[in-house]
């Protein structure tokens, strides 16, 4: 059975001297394919089967066997990302994260959020901020979304004092204990991150303090509630320190 799907290559593994196996993230999940001859310099599949390449993939599905990739129409190669080691590290991490989220919850929005994020990083928007927006949105599909519309303890919608990963989200002044205090700007931004359409972002003006506070919150929240520990995240942290 032949099929045409839109997706992005999330991994590639050599199979022989000339072929490789690729995984394609689509709106309906991940598809594994054999790309015969794709490593050959003359192959029509060579460029379209490299990681972080978006395209229309022509697939011949085999019953109980690995599907065969027969053609690719490239939609976006994300060339700017592939020129920069830091951008590559962010892209690799969010692609890996999207794949893990898809395993928990196959949803077309997971794919759409990923593609929008990659496009913004490719357009030179702040990769950390775009990644944090994606991370926050993905928590909903993992079933562990923090409470950012009211106090996570008492439900109050007023006098929000801080944002706490250990206590599940917003904390009001009445429920405040020994929680780390974040800035008012950060409290407002985290909610904006959730509701913003990444594809419609035209500018980002976020202070270094808020970026650190939001990134630290999300790192701790993922560690506490998701059970996801990705090697690409650790590598990203290491590269970000030296870049």
pLDDT reported for residue 101:
97
pLDDT reported for residue 1:
78
Domain 2-77: state its class: mainly beta
Give 95-107 as a DSSP string: HHHHHHHHHH---
Return d(Cα 162, Cα 181) in angstroms, integer. Answer: 5
pLDDT reported for residue 41:
86
Tell me which CATH code domain 80-242 carries.
Answer: 1.20.1440.120
pLDDT reported for residue 62:
75
The pLDDT tens digits along the chain (243 residues) read 789 999 999 999 999 899 999 999 999 999 999 999 999 988 999 999 999 999 999 999 877 778 999 999 999 999 999 999 999 999 999 999 999 999 999 999 999 999 999 999 999 999 999 999 999 999 999 999 999 999 999 999 999 999 999 999 999 999 999 999 999 999 999 999 999 999 999 999 999 999 999 999 999 999 999 999 899 999 998 887 765
**Residue 27 and residue 12 in contact, taking contact as beta carbons nearer than 8 Å:** no
Residues of the chain within CATH 1.20.1440.120 domain(s) are: 80-242
Q: Tokens for 221? A: 């929240």
Residues of the chain within CATH 2.40.50.140 domain(s) are: 2-77
Rounded to the nearest 10°, the torsion over CA 95, 100, 30, 13 is 60
Return d(Cα 150, Cα 98) in angstroms, integer. Answer: 28
Largest Cα–Cα distance of the chain, in whole Å? 67
């Amino acid at each position: 059975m032949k099929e045409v799907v839109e997706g992005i290559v999330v991994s590639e593994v050599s199979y022989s001297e000339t072929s490789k196996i690729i995984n394609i993230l689509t709106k309906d999940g991940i598809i594994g394919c054999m790309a015969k001859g794709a490593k050959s310099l003359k192959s029509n599949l060579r460029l379209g089967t490299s990681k972080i390449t978006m395209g229309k993939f022509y697939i011949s599905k085999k019953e109980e066997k690995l599907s065969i990739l027969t053609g690719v129409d490239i939609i976006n190669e994300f060339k700017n990302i592939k020129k920069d080691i830091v951008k590559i590290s962010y892209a690799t991490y969010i692609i890996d994260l999207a794949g893990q989220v898809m395993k928990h919850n196959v949803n077309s929005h997971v794919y759409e959020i990923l593609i929008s994020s990659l496009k913004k990083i490719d357009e030179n928007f702040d990769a950390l901020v775009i990644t944090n927006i994606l991370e926050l949105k993905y928590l909903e599909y993992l079933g562990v979304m923090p409470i950012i519309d009211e106090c996570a303890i008492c439900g109050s919608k007023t006098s929000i004092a801080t944002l706490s990963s250990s206590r599940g989200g917003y904390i009001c002044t009445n429920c405040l204990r020994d929680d780390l205090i974040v800035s008012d700007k950060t409290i407002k931004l985290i909610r904006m991150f959730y509701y913003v359409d990444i594809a419609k972002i035209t500018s980002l003006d976020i202070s270094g303090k808020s970026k650190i506070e939001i990134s630290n919150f999300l790192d701790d929240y993922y560690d506490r509630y998701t059970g996801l520990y990705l090697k690409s995240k650790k590598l990203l942290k290491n590269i970000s320190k030296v870049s």
